[in-house]
């Protein structure tokens, strides 16, 4: 159970959507759903929204229309979801690699990087074959290459949460504590700016 005081304190200060970013298999959607439930906020998943709008799966979109088409839909959907105000948005792993999307995430949300070790990403993504980017070669090598390019971008997030192999509840509590700490620090910065 999340600490009620932390939940109240987050509620009092949060004025933007929370956006979860990170590699495929990092557990963004799972953590996002848990955070949304704990904070009683709507949950949105950019991949699910893209699938709903296209009427087919992400794999089918890649096969039929190619990656550029998917990236275009992703950019538009994330921009739309960011307009919905408070809520929790899980994004696909490649979303912040589009400069326009990254800029929108950095400026219009509180961003959370769900950081995960490569070995866990390999294990988790290996459980199902719904990641089209991993089909063109050795999934472990592809993930390693993507992480090398993407981690420096993910690092720009406001908050970093380690998604280790431990209990989901402890990862969520860690995320809530970090979020509370971040919002409190932002609040203090705002107060000292006002006093100047």
Binding site for ligand S3P (CB under 6 A): 24, 28, 47, 58, 92-94, 131-133
Question: In which residue are the tokens 């089909």 written?
Answer: 135
Token pair in block for residue 82: 């960011």
Q: Is the dihedral of CA 192, 193, 195, 196 positive or negative?
A: positive
Nearer to ligand S3P, 49 or 180 (CB): 49
**Dist. CA 29–CA 88, nearest whole Å:** 10
Give φ, ψ of 26 to 5 degrees.
Answer: -80, -15
Nearer to ligand S3P, 96 or 180 (CB): 96
Nearer to ligand S3P, 59 or 177 (CB): 59
The helix (run of H) or strand (run of E) holding residue 56 is: none
Nearer to ligand S3P, 2 or 171 (CB): 171
Tell the smallest beta-carbon distance from residue 91 to ligand S3P (Å): 7
Tell the smallest beta-carbon distance from residue 48 to ligand S3P (Å): 9
**Dist. CA 133–CA 146, nearest whole Å:** 10
Residue closest to ligand S3P when measured from CB atoms: 92
Tell the smallest beta-carbon distance from residue 92 to ligand S3P (Å): 2
Tell the smallest beta-carbon distance from residue 162 to ligand S3P (Å): 17
Token pair in block for residue 126: 């290996």
**Dist. CA 30–CA 69, nearest whole Å:** 26
Nearer to ligand S3P, 5 or 127 (CB): 127
Tell the smallest beta-carbon distance from residue 47 to ligand S3P (Å): 5
């Amino acid at each position: 159970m999340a600490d009620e005081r932390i939940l109240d304190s987050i509620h009092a200060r949060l004025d933007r959507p929370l956006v979860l970013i990170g590699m495929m298999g990092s557990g963004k959607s799972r953590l996002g759903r848990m955070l949304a439930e704990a904070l009683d906020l709507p949950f949105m998943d950019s991949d699910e929204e893209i699938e709903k709008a296209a009427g087919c799966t992400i794999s089918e979109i890649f096969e039929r229309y190619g990656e550029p088409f998917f990236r275009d839909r992703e950019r538009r959907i994330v921009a739309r979801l960011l307009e919905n105000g408070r809520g929790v948005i899980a994004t696909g792993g490649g979303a912040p690699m589009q400069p326009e999307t990254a800029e929108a995430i950095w400026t219009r949300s509180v961003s959370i990087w769900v950081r995960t070790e490569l070995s866990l990403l390999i294990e988790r993504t290996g459980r199902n074959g719904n990641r089209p980017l991993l089909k063109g070669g050795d999934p472990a090598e592809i993930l390693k290459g993507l992480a090398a390019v993407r981690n420096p971008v993910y690092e720009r997030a406001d908050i970093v949460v380690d998604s280790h192999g431990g209990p989901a509840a402890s990862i969520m509590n860690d995320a809530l504590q970090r979020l509370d700490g971040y919002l409190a620090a932002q609040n203090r910065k705002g107060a000292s700016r006002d006093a100047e």
